[in-house]
Amino acid sequence: MVEFSIWDIVRNLLMATRWTVVLSIVAFIGGGIVGLLLLYARIGGGKIANRLVGGYVQVFQGTPLLIQLFLAFFGIAALGLPVSPWIAASVCLTLYASAYLAEIWRGCVDSVPKGQWEAAKSLGLSFPLQLRLIVLPQAAKIAVAPTVGFMVQVIKGTALASIIGFIEITKTGTMITNATFKPFLVYSFVALFYFALCFPLSWWSKRLELKLSISSR
């Protein structure tokens, strides 16, 4: 048993927090880019593309993130490619986030009245221009709050990356617990750190939703 002071626990968890934040940012930005491509393919790529993207979304929404992490880590290695927990976690969480963001944004695009599409088409705009100039600006206002809210899910999802050896808050908490045999104290701090990361985003999401609902009246 190793003696850790409270400051030692907090300091080590603070150091691990940066990796949780970095992984969350990578997953969210990567997922956003892939999600936009999926969104475009689904609403403008025809029936086949729509079904393929729909199947992609169903796979990632219908299977546990933990299993996806295992498949990414051991599946890439099985192909003979060297893979680190960082790469596997980044790839898996990016694909996971893209599936959810594509579906969130599709719902926001579908909420734009069809009359807006028809008006844009009557102006002679091509589909990409209809989407970029008319539809997306309106859908973006609706999408802001749920998109920010989904960031909370991405941050909490990074905790599962500890199972493949990625050292973030949860993995660090487990390592400290194994050394100190003080699980209640350590995991209480782990919970507080996640709360400190997630609560501001949850609060911001609700504020944005309220602000946008008022401005749309």
| Per-residue pLDDT in tens (0 to 9) along the chain, 217 residues | 567 788 999 999 999 999 999 999 999 999 999 999 999 888 887 789 889 999 999 999 999 999 999 999 988 888 888 889 999 999 999 999 999 999 999 988 888 888 887 887 887 788 788 888 888 888 888 888 889 889 999 999 999 999 999 999 999 999 999 988 899 999 999 999 999 999 998 888 888 777 766 555 5
Please tell me the pTM assigned to this model: 0.88
- Where does 6-215 sit in CATH, by number? 1.10.3720.10
Q: Which residue has the tokens 């990016």?
A: 94
**Alpha-carbon 180 to chain mean position:** 33
The answer to whether the CB of 104 falls within 8 A of the CB of 150 is: yes
Contacts of residue 119, defined as CB under 8 A and 6 or more positions apart, other chains included, come to 134
The answer to whether the CB of 55 falls within 8 A of the CB of 41 is: no
